[in-house]
């Protein structure tokens, strides 16, 4: 234990932070506050930010959205810290930063695999298990526009659980322009890389 406390801060602090996060989760659970929201807050703030960027695809691969955000963060921090400290103990002559080349990939893979197991075990009717495909047919508001044939804009949609999601979107019909603030309906996911959703004005969908 004494050796661990003298480990490089680059790995010791993430390990301690992950352990503290785990303790906080347990305390909140027994205090009746439940788990942290899947999107990193009551309004799914982290989920909103990721949905609006290509990073969302990476976090989808890590099971973000199917596993609570706090659990994925805990796995990343603890694994990165533990592997970094183990490598430091095995190869003490190397510079501290070099162990990150082994610790970072290990943290990602452990989080991916363990997160997959957790996602399989979690009840799928919980709000953090929402499938974005279920947003098809739901109304939303253009928050970053106008939406046209250029770069995708953003819309905000509320799912069946009442959670808000910010999605990258463009009009379903070529040549259409939808102004910021307009109410739209999600039609389907666009083909191609990245999560971009096709929408139509709410009036046309009626």
Q: 143-189: per-residue pLDDT in tens?
A: 887 898 888 888 888 887 777 777 888 998 888 999 989 999 999 88
CA 33 to chain CA mean position, Å: 21
Find, among 84, 77, 71, 65, the residue nearest to 114 by Cα. Answer: 71
Q: Does 107 lie in the same domain as 9? A: yes
CATH number at residue 138: 2.40.50.140
pTM listed for this prediction: 0.54
Domain region containing 174: 132-205
pLDDT for 104 beyond 90: yes
Burial class (CB in 10 A: 0-12, 13-18, 19+), 16: middle
pLDDT for 77 beyond 90: yes
Lookup result for tokens 């480990």? 7
Number of structural domains the chain divides into = 2
Please say which residue of 73, 99, 128 terminates a domain: 128
Q: Does 185 lie in the same domain as 165? A: yes
pLDDT for 60 beyond 80: no
Q: Does 58 lie in the same domain as 158? A: no
Please say which residue of 128, 145, 173 terminates a domain: 128
């Amino acid at each position: 234990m004494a050796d661990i406390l003298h480990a490089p801060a680059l790995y010791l602090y993430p390990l301690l932070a992950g352990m503290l996060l785990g303790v906080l989760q347990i305390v909140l659970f027994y205090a009746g506050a439940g788990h942290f929201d899947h999107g990193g807050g009551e309004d799914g703030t982290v989920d909103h930010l990721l949905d609006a960027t290509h990073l969302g695809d990476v976090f989808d691969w890590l099971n973000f959205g199917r596993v609570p955000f706090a659990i994925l963060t805990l796995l990343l921090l603890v694994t990165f810290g533990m592997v970094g400290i183990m490598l430091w103990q095995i190869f003490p002559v190397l510079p501290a930063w070099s162990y990150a080349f082994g610790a970072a990939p290990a943290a990602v893979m452990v989080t991916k695999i363990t997160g997959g197991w957790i996602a399989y075990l979690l009840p799928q009717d919980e709000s953090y298990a929402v499938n974005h495909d279920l947003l098809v047919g739901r109304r939303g508001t253009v928050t970053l526009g106008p939406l046209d044939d250029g770069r995708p804009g953003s819309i905000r949609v509320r799912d069946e659980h009442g959670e808000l999601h910010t999605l990258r979107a463009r009009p379903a019909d070529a040549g259409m322009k939808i102004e910021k603030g307009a109410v739209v309906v999600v039609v389907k996911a666009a083909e191609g890389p990245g999560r971009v959703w096709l929408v139509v004005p709410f009036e046309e969908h009626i």
